[in-house]
Structure 1
Amino acid sequence: MNHRQQKKLSRRLFQAIWSSDTGAAKAALRAGAAPERRNDVGTTPLYEASVSGRAEIATLLLVAGAAPDTESAGLGAEGTPLCAAACWGHTATVRTLLAHGANPNLREEHGTGRPPIAWTHDGPHGPHHETAALLTAAGVITAG
């Protein structure tokens, strides 16, 4: 598949995520959209699905080969999918990411930033007690 086709499929995948269209996301992946291909600003599809609370689409991406701990670098979309979902209290998405191997102790910014649990307590959109309990049950070592 050439670069132009892959870019078109990637745009279709991101559109499906933004519109919460699981069927369209599935179709884009079946057609060959790469589950880890970043958009023009560096955001990964899994980060976008996670920050938006699209657990079903996150599952599709993970099953298709997206790595659960890949950091996104998009403008305003920096960080790990797990931190993004935890920040917004998207418990179902956090559960999905953990079930597919996301590290509950992985800090953003390549290990130097905040861990997911910190976002559940004092993020701009918290506190999210149910999400924090889920992360704790998954083996969180530290809140700092």
Structure 2
Amino acid sequence: MKQRRQKKLSHRLFEAILSGDARSVKALLRGGASPQRRNSYGTTPLYLASVQGEAEVARLLMEAAALPDTESSGPGSEGTPLCAAACWGHTETVRELLAHGADPDLREDDGAGWSPLDWAENGAHLDTVEVLRAAGAHGTPRADPAP
């Protein structure tokens, strides 16, 4: 697929994710939009869907081959999809990510940052904490208390 067309599809995909439009996301993925292509800032589509709490959109992206443990690198959008969903208490999105193989103990910042459980506990998202613990997440002490 031509680079220009792929860039246009990617832009539309990010717009559809931001608006929570699962039907458009599905159509764009069918039309050739890449579920892994980062935007110009380095944010992945799955990270954006996760931070927005769009569980259905996250599922569609992973069914189209988005990898659940790929770290996003955009300004203000750094981290893993599971950490993003856990941070905001998006329990349904956390469930989808775990169902598609997200590592419940994967720490952000190439392993040096907080885990999904750290984020959920810090935000007092008790339902999310329960789901993560049921998936085998472990809380481990960290030297620095702030993300």
> So what's the TM-score if we normalise by structure 1?
0.96
Tell me the distance in 1 between the aligned counterparts of 2:67 and 2:120. Answer: 22
Q: Which runs of 4+ in 1 moved over 4 A?
A: none
Report the residue type matching 1:94 in the other structure: V
In the other structure, the counterpart of 2:95 is 95
**Structure 2 counterpart SS, 1:26:** helix
Contact 1:117 1:143 in 2 (8 A): no
> Identity rate of aligned residues, in percent?
61
In the other structure, the counterpart of 2:133 is 136
Tell me the distance in 1 between the aligned counterparts of 2:49 and 2:63. Answer: 14
In the other structure, the counterpart of 1:83 is 83
**Structure 2 counterpart SS, 1:78:** strand
Contact 1:105 1:115 in 2 (8 A): yes
Report the residue type matching 1:112 in the other structure: A
Instruction: Let me know the Cα RMSD of the aligned residues.
Output: 0.7
In the other structure, the counterpart of 1:36 is 36
**Structure 2 counterpart SS, 1:133:** helix
Tell me the distance in 2 between the aligned counterparts of 1:116 and 1:25. Answer: 26
Report the residue type matching 1:108 in the other structure: E
Tell me the distance in 2 between the aligned counterparts of 1:143 and 1:32. Answer: 41
> So what's the TM-score if we normalise by structure 2?
0.94
Contact 1:50 1:85 in 2 (8 A): yes
Contact 1:38 1:45 in 2 (8 A): yes
Q: CA offsets, 1:43-80, max 9 Å, x none?
A: 00000000000000000000000000000000100000
Deviation at 1:140, TM superposition (A): 1.0
Tell me the distance in 1 between the aligned counterparts of 2:10 and 2:55. Answer: 19
Contact 2:117 2:138 in 1 (8 A): no
